[in-house]
A and B are shown apart, each in its own frame.
Chain A
């Protein structure tokens, strides 16, 4: 016979296993490319998280795909769907990972096209459409959805395309503190089938940082109940050098100072990509 304490301990261990497995759904390391530096952080509010991020390079183009997502609600349900959304996006953008390139007869050969997309913008809108329809049609009964920001960045030129699926606007911040918002180009993923997703685009000049995040950042509360908010985020972004590690650390420090170490009520995820001279 088990005691309530033993049951609780068993549950705690199961959750610990879930947390460790979930870590494996985040990239072990971020892509390294000439011309761009990346940094990311994810702080779950609970043992497991509904937030996710991803960053991977497409071969042979060298395009870097950046993803920040936020599954609705929190806890275990959101965590299960986080694994699904992340995998659908990654697999549809890059069907066989690095294996898309095979050595055939001593030559690097592209064996499969990512959703046969002609351009990075096409790729992103198709990935969003595919993921949306998969969730809405196969998992419609759960009414789960996710907001996501997807970008495809060419490291050497700084040119990028993006799809913002119902997500907090990502921000391009320049070394002079100037900012540009990358607002939604379509609804959250999974609401209803057959939604339309458009792509936007831009260019990162040297020193510019593309900063994407989840709403847990701007909705974090001070002990007095005030939200961190977009203005404080903008000030924190302006107060730091646009080197991505410094920017992410600076924003997290500003957040901690604001919340005075209070328990977070939502997951917080940040992803920064800065164009650099190599």
Chain B
């Protein structure tokens, strides 16, 4: 798994690529924690290049979502592939957070 980060206005997008599992989830957690520590609370996780996520990856999303909301922001997801989308739907994560088809849509949603 690897990540890159970019910023548009006050929205930070974390682009995630590869597999998020028990071994790599902590690295992803640290990326989000760094942004939250810098008081960046409007976050987008670009899942377009994520092939697979285990429950360890979902746990990182849950932790980040709760911290972003407690800081007055949100975590929104963009572009999950059908397999990842299925995991998000099944576990009920799509009931508790917003998923957008593209990064542009997710970023724009913060301005709406």
Contact = CB atoms under 8 A, between A and B. Distances in A.
Contacts of B22: 73-75
A72 B95 CA distance: 18
Contacts of B90: 147, 166-169, 184
A143 B96 contact: no
A186 B55 contact: no
A70 B55 contact: yes
Contacts of A169: 90
Interface residues of B, number: 16
Contact-residue bracket for chain A: 20 to 34
A187 B55 contact: no
Nearest to A143: B63
Contact of B62 (A74, A143, A184, A195): A143
A195 B91 CA distance: 13
Nearest to B56: A73
What is the interface of chain B mostly: helix, strand, loop, or mixed? Answer: helix
A187 B59 contact: no
A188 interface: yes
Nearest to B69: A192
Interface in A164-198: 165-169, 184, 186-188, 191-192, 195
A147 B91 contact: yes
Interface of A: 70, 72-75, 140, 143-145, 147, 165-169, 184, 186-188, 191-192, 195, 266
21 contacts: A72-B55, A72-B59, A73-B25, A73-B59, A74-B56, A143-B63, A143-B66, A145-B59, A147-B90, A147-B91, A166-B90, A166-B91, A167-B90, A168-B90, A186-B92, A187-B92, A187-B93, A187-B96, A188-B93, A191-B93, A192-B96
